[in-house]
Structure 1
């Protein structure tokens, strides 16, 4: 017995230590590394010899690309075992005439397919001899997640939360740092293409910080695709690029895991419009319908769990108090209505599925009036008062000023 008690005590200590280690939180992520402001006249990309009216060769990813050529390069953050490392393809169309550099990224989330097809169609329909400037397309940034049909990196992190990255941070942060410095900082414009997440789909739309004059002007070149004012979450590629002086837009098109050809066609049309309006590449048919602008929006959440049945579709105009959908308990047959808290347009929605209480179901945007469009966006956007199904005020309006004066945007948890 005297020997048994010390053994029990030692075993208890070992189990406690193991349990403590298993529950230990991951170490804090280092702060992002500082980034030099982007300069469109980066002399390191230019050669000293070029004929008047002719573009100069450019250097990207240790390759020199001649004017009027199309090349497939490869980017690798160099973080995997050499024997297992697969570089990410980078498509480059370098025009015969000088002009800006447009960057298109897709599949930062490996389960988002529509952007891959948009980049393919745009790049392979370009004739470099007729192009002014350069288009850099990365169809599958997160090749790691793409192979597994996963939104995330192999370290279970969301790559689009770690930009501009840090060379001594986590795996995702190091990948973000490599991409940002080796490719993104060489671009004068950025279009980062995404889809909805977690069984949600989005109306083809743009998202950008419309209080930034360069981004506002850039957004106007996409034709009839609507634009939602949203600065972008901290760590997103769009936010990091904009903070570095690069006009950056997120293009949202459809949902994950499948190819939506209608959404792809909208995205390709928008990209052709922007290339035409920037004077880079002429297109025959311009998208001339008015562009809707949304200064604010909100996600409407379910009040109970069950099977959701939608009553509205994307791009549908809805009124305050209108039935958007219904959540039904399949056992008790009880139901809970999902009601629109305001007048607006359905920008995004969850697919009909099993939902839990609080699940974000419908994304409603409010179109800016002509009077609002004629004025600069105010520092604080006044949101309409929202009410719950029971008539009680909702505590989180679509856009409310935070303690720092920043806008608190409740749909940020669905941000791509």
Structure 2
């Protein structure tokens, strides 16, 4: 087989039809223990696009890690054409330390495209850009809500800018599809600058498995593989995706103990009471009234809140909801 058909990764020439697990050495712990990132490469005999599936950009976001682990274990990722590159955990440091960031306190997803002699986060990003980014055409980056905030299953991407990105999000068909501008230093920004299309999938909260969101992620990934001509038809979505171009966070005006009166995914009417904040001594409580109508796509599960803390993430649908 000619070497021109091979994918070159981590010093390996991976031929069509091969399935390889390789490990990118990132650095060492102070103890001398090597930190490496396992990468699954699954290739079909027939040429086609290359799809990246990545979890654990933030080490405490376990839902994406479990999603990719589950698909690998169930042998759902062998493409009928093209290549799948699956990275269950990019930020091994954060995973080991139950942390969003790397030990220097920096966020890998604000450090792209990285620098070989920069911070630890920058070095992780640079290794990814050097080894993985040149190989891919499309990607799904799996994330989870942080700081005790749970996200309802949703895809985030820049809508209306690129037809292929829109089609990728529509194929995934998460319960919600949100317009999200690019953030400086993010993987999506670095990918777009190089002509790659990456969407972000969010579900659940950090350090907690969200079974509903994980199964939505598996089903959505299979639909994307089918859309790209890389696999059989995936399971149909339970309902059409709800597209939202505007979102807002409702924040605490008072400090105290927060109790939510709504659930994730629920529709919220303007003027509806969505929760309360009470002082811990039983002297007063304030009912919280929503200033907008929309769907609850993110919910704070931390009962102790300070002024300005995010309580509720509300997305406004493109088409007004009819009762």
Please tell me whether residue 47 in structure 1 is matched to residue 13 in structure 2.
no
Please give the per-residue CA displacement for 1:337-389, whole angstroms capped at 9, x wherever unaligned: 2222111100101004101011000000011129xxxxxxxxxxxxxxxxxxx
Per the alignment, residue 233 of structure 1 pairs with 183
Superposed CA RMSD:
1.9
Which structure 1 segments of 5+ residues have no match?
1-45, 49-55, 371-416
Residue 217 of structure 2: aligned partner: 267
Is the 2:28–2:35 Cα contact (8 Å) retained in structure 1? no
Residue 365 in 1 paired to residue 308 in 2? Answer: no
2:236 to 271, 275, 286: 286
Q: Among 146, 149, 158, which residue is 2:107 paired with?
A: 158
TM-score after normalising by structure 2: 0.93
> How far, CA to CA, are the matches of 2:248 and 2:32 in structure 1?
47
* Maintained 8 Å contact 1:93/1:126: no
Please name the residue that 1:112 is paired with. Answer: 61
**Greater relative contact order, per chain length (Cα 8 Å cut-off, separation 6+):** 2
* 2:40 aligned residue: 91
Aligned residue number for residue 199 of structure 1: 148
Equivalent residue of 2:48, what SS?
Answer: strand
Change (3 A) 1:284 1:302: closer
The answer as to whether partners of 1:205 and 1:253 remain within 8 angstroms in 2 is yes
Gapped regions of structure 2 (runs ≥ 5): none
**Change in 2 beyond 3 A, CA 1:338/1:76:** farther
Match for residue 244 of structure 1?
194
1:135/1:225 CA distance change after superposition, 3 Å: farther
How many angstroms apart in 1 are the aligned matches of 2:217 and 2:240?
Answer: 16
Shift of 1:79: 6.3
1:335 pairs, out of 267, 278, 285, with 285
Specify which structure has the higher proportion of strand: 2
Write the distance in 1 (CA, Å) between the matches of 2:38 and 2:78: 22
Question: Are 1:325 and 1:338, in contact at CA under 8 Å, matched by a contact in 2?
Answer: yes
Q: Is the 8 A contact 1:69 1:129 kept in 2?
A: no
- Counterpart in the other structure of 1:306: 256
> In the aligned structure 2, how far is the partner of 1:334 from the partner of 1:279?
59
Aligned in 2, Cα 1:129/1:89: closer, same or farther, shift over 3 Å?
Answer: closer
* CA deviation profile, 1:86-112 (whole Å, cap 9, x unmatched): 211111111121110000111111111
CA deviation after TM superposition for structure 1 residue 262, in Å: 1.3
Pairing 1:141–2:141 present: no
The answer on whether the counterparts of 1:223 and 1:290 sit within 8 Å (CA) in structure 2 is: yes
- Verify: 1:60 aligned to 2:9, yes or no: yes
Counterpart-to-counterpart distance in 1, 2:115 and 2:124: 8
Structure 1 residue 122 displacement after superposition: 2.3
Shift of 1:82: 9.6
Partners of 2:115 and 2:160 lie apart in 1 by 28
Normalising by structure 1, we get a TM-score of: 0.73
Figure out how many residues of one structure are paired with residues of the other and give that number.
318
Q: Using the TM superposition, give the Cα deviation of residue 66 of structure 1 relative to its aligned residue in structure 2, in angstroms.
A: 2.5
- Looking at structure 1, the residues matched to 229 and 237 of structure 2 have their Cα atoms a distance apart, in angstroms, of 15
Shift of 1:127: 6.4
Moved more, 57-66 or 74-83: 74-83
Cα distance in structure 2, aligned partners of 1:293 and 1:299: 17
Name the SS of the counterpart of 1:258 in structure 2: coil
Give CA-to-partner distance per residue, 1:16-63, whole Å, 9 cap, x none: xxxxxxxxxxxxxxxxxxxxxxxxxxxxxx833xxxxxxx33222211
* Contact 1:191 1:248 (8 Å CA) reproduced: yes
SS for the counterpart of 1:99 is coil
- Report which of the two structures shows the higher radius of gyration computed on alpha carbons: 1
CA contact (8 A) 1:223 1:288 kept: no
* 2:129 aligned residue: 180
